[in-house]
Each structure stands twice: as structure tokens, then as C-alpha cells.
Amino acid sequence: MVTELQSRKALDRFSGSDFFERKKNDKALSPTLSYPYAEQQLYHHRYEAVTNGSFLPEMLHTRTQVARTNRSLLASLKEGGYIFYTRHAEAIVGADQPNLNFQDCSTQRNLSLIGRRQATEYGETIRRLAIPIMAPVASSPFCRNIETAALAFGREYIQVDPFLYDVYRLSTNISPFDQQRILATLNSVLETPVPAGTNKVIIAHSFPVGIGLGRLPNMGTIIVRPRGYGMGFEVVAYLTLAELNRLT
């Protein structure tokens, strides 16, 4: 049985982690979904969440050990089998309203003019690079996410996934139990295989520092290779919109 003290120590160990920034600086491996109990292994992170004395399904991923050039990464993406976890494009300054209504965009932060250009560029870049994308593209129910996906891929190819609102909730004041539940579900999503010859795109949200995949910039993308049900996933690359554009 993992004690509360052990859980707290495990959280403290990774409390300063930020997946995107640490990968950006090519430092030590970053943790994935931050659970209340964790043990660290070299080049391998394994997480188990404790709820009412029982473990939630184990979450794990490994970092790709072989450095990939832009050319080899693009070649891999063209072969398919990956998930593009992408944050929506730039939104206007402000906050979603307390009376948030997914059917009323006026209650939400929406894309800025720059954001609309970013979303359009994202789709154009993927098509220029001939990276195959499966339909539908999954989108959070927020207007800024739906518009990002629509500008990039076309509204007819979008499917709203209500679970991605839960990912947004990780940045709000929720209970540890809800956080664990959301992260466990996200792990299941990211470990689900994608057919060869195509890639899955998820237009969602950034994470708080030290939680989930860490903070992402507007239109930042984490490339994930699912390892199969119960096997976790592998983070292959992190790409800003500019870096995606530079793939050759």
C-alpha cells in the first residue's frame, strides 16, 4: 500500500516538470501523465494512480532513443500510425465566461486573427507535406478548437469529442480523483493504435505545468506513437507550427 507521504514525495519529485519545455531544451526525459504515485526509471517512466487503496491502470510511455532527423520524421509520419495531439491556435486575451455555453461562442475565448492564420497554415502545411490524416479530426467542444480544426481540415471532417473538455478541466480546480480519472482516460486515448497509412489529429488544449503532456504553445503539436492497449505510448517529437513547416 502506497502511503500518503510516498505519494506526496512522488508528486514533489516531478512538480517542476514541463514536458514541452524540457523536450525543447533536450534535457532529461519528461514525465507523462502525472499521477499521485510514481517511480522513475532511466529512459522509462511508469505511473500508477492510487484511489481508495487500489491502482488505476498503469500509464507509461518511453522516449524515442534514436534521434530523428526532419527527413526521417517526415518519412515516418507519411507511413502513418501516429497521433498528433495539437493545441488550438491563438485565442483572444481573456477568459471563458462563468456562464460558459458551448453553443454560444460569445461566452468563450475565440480565435484571434493571428490564430485563424495559424490554423489555416497548419492545414496547408500538412497537405503540402503529404502527411495522411484520418477522418474525422477530433476536436474539443470549445469554439476556438472547432474553428481551428475547421480552418485546417474543413468543418465536414470534424467530430467533437466531449472528453476533451475534461482535458481543459485539468487547468481548473478539480479534485484529485477527477484528475486521475481524466489522465487515465487520456492515456487510453493515446495508447489506442492508429491504422498504418494514416494519422489521427486531436485539436485540444495545453496542460498545467507538471500535468499531462505539459504546456504547449498555440498550435504546438506532440507526436505520439501508440503502443497498443495497456502498453502506453511513445512520445516521438514535439513541434511548434514553425518546426512543422520546416519538415522536409
Both 159 and 110 in one domain: the answer is yes
Strand partners of residue 41 = 44
**Residue 96, domain extent:** 70-245
**Predicted confidence pLDDT, tens digits, the chain (248 residues):** 333 343 333 333 323 334 334 434 433 333 333 222 222 222 222 232 222 222 233 334 433 433 445 669 999 999 999 999 999 999 998 899 999 999 999 999 999 999 999 999 999 999 999 999 999 999 999 999 999 999 999 999 999 999 999 999 999 999 999 999 999 999 999 999 999 999 999 999 999 988 999 899 999 999 999 999 999 999 999 999 999 999 98
pTM of the model: 0.74
Place of cell 498555440: 218
Are 80 and 146 contained in the same domain?
Answer: yes
Whether 27 and 135 share a structural domain = no
What's the CA gap between 141 and 242, in Å, rounded? Answer: 26
User: What distance in Å separates the CA atoms of residue 246 and residue 125, rounded to the nearest whole number?
Assistant: 9
How many folded domains does the chain comprise?
2
Which of 23, 45, 62 terminates a domain? The answer is 62
Do 99 and 44 belong to one domain? no
Residue listed under C-alpha cell 493545441: 87
Q: Specify the length of the chain in residues.
A: 248
Of 43, 62, 81, which closes a domain? 62
> CA nearest 241: which of 98, 92, 116, 122?
122
Question: How far, rounded to the nearest angstrom, does the alpha carbon of residue 96 sit from its chain's CA centroid?
Answer: 21
Which of the listed residues 62, 81, 108 is the one where a domain comes to its end? Answer: 62
